[in-house]
Homo-oligomer: A and B are copies of this chain.
Amino acid sequence: MPRKTGLNRETIVEAAVELVNREGVGALTLHRLAAHVGVRPPSLYNHIHGMPGLLRELALFNARQLAEQMGRAVIGQSGAPALEKLANVYRAYIKANPGLYWISLSAPQPEDDIELIEAQQDIIQIALLVIESLGYQGEQALHIVRGLQSLVHGFTTLENLGGFGLELDCEVSFQYIVSTFIRGISH
């Protein structure tokens, strides 16, 4: 069919992930991305719907990868240790994928994007199951999910941005904060 076979959406998305994690959000241009996969910029449009489409693909990739890693982390675990494990996996994921995670936050979020919403709900669902294994249910369980997600997301993005001074070990802070929150809900 084409002059060179082998290019597809998956390859493009993976190259974009690599680029944005290695060189930062500002480095993600279609020009550079095209060079990375060996084509000219307009050729990318045969596989993705321009820059907005690429951002959407990245957000989807991000949500699915995060859900997958979280799900795998708590297999066969329950209770407070499982919750701490989830928090640590979430943070490790963001630290390993700083550019991807950040750009996913800025991506468009159309309400009819079923795939993306499903992947995001998977993330919540995994946390919810763990929290229910601790004995919480209904709205309270949902509040706790939101709290833990806010805590980990907030801490790690501030940490990545250098928003904390350098004095105090972030690792220690994180463990302290997570256990403080979990202690708060156990009351």
Chain A residues engaging chain B, CB cutoff 8 angstroms: 25, 105-106, 109, 120-121, 124, 139-140, 142-144, 146-147, 149-155, 157-158, 161-165, 167-168, 172-173, 176-177, 179-185, 187
Cα(A139)–Cα(B177), bound, Å: 12
* Copies of this chain held together in the complex: 2
Q: How far is the CB of A39 from chain B (nearest CB, A)?
A: 27
CB contacts (< 8 Å) of A155 on chain B: these are: 146-147, 150, 154
CB contacts (< 8 Å) of A151 on chain B: these are: 147, 150-151, 154, 181
For residue A105, which residue of chain B has the nearest CB? Answer: B161
Q: How far is the CB of A46 from chain B (nearest CB, A)?
A: 26
